[in-house]
Amino acid sequence: MGKDQELLEAARTGNVALVEKLLAGRKGGLLGSGSGPIPLSNLLSIWRGPNINCTDSSGYTALHHAALNGHKDVVIKLLQFEASTNVADNKGYFPIHLAAWKGDVEIVKILIHHGPSHSRVNEQNNENETALHCAAQYGHSEVAAILLEELTDPTIRNNKLETPLDLAALYGRLQVVKMIINAYPNLMSCNTRKHTPLHLAARNGHKAVVQVLLEAGMDVSCHGPFSCLVPEVPC
């Protein structure tokens, strides 16, 4: 197993000691030894050391693996060694997407605020989804709150023209729905012919979400393919 593969596996399994060991020679080699020439042994360390942003067959970096598996200490260690937060995998997912999908508040915060390159919260994957889409779909309200505080744009639509609010409504994520409409009431406007959050919530029988949207002022006259399912909307 090469050094790159060792690093990826150590990050995936949360072996922070091995991550540090693999990267320590790389860091030492890069620093050199004062103002004199870099010793041959250090040059070999650079050559033999892993590429901190190396990827596997899925395009995952060590940071992807650590973020996905909840290894906070490994995430911190990788960032200390200047791992990039802005490398996408084969599907366009950045580490922050994976942390948001898992609902890991601490790792989301670390990716945003620490390291040489901070996560750009509006980065989109190949489906044009942001980390907020991931958090909203799975009902991770604490992560959604952090992303909204960091000025994630909740109006961004994915390839199905769904906003994070649409996904939260579709999957019945009541707390996320409340959070988004309180922060961005303009999302209640009827600005697409395809659907509204109200249609999506009604389609899947999420009565509590329907009620919240109606109480917040969602216009029931906004017709869409599921408008017949919404109370007071004639077919």
Domains (range + CATH), the chain: 153-235 (1.25.40.20)
Least confident of 21-35, 56-70, 139-153, 184-198: 21-35
- Residue 146 pLDDT > 60: yes
Could you tell me the pLDDT band of residue 191, with boundaries at 50, 70 and 90? low
- 139/120 Cα distance (integer angstroms): 21
Distance from CA of residue 13 to its chain's centroid? 20
Whether pLDDT at 36 is above 90 = no
Instruction: Using the predicted structure, report yes or no on whether residue 29 has a pLDDT greater than 70.
Output: no
CA separation for the pair 62, 79 (Å, rounded): 10
Output the pLDDT for position 96: 98
* pLDDT tops 50 at residue 232: no
Confidence of residue 233 (pLDDT cuts 50, 70, 90): very low
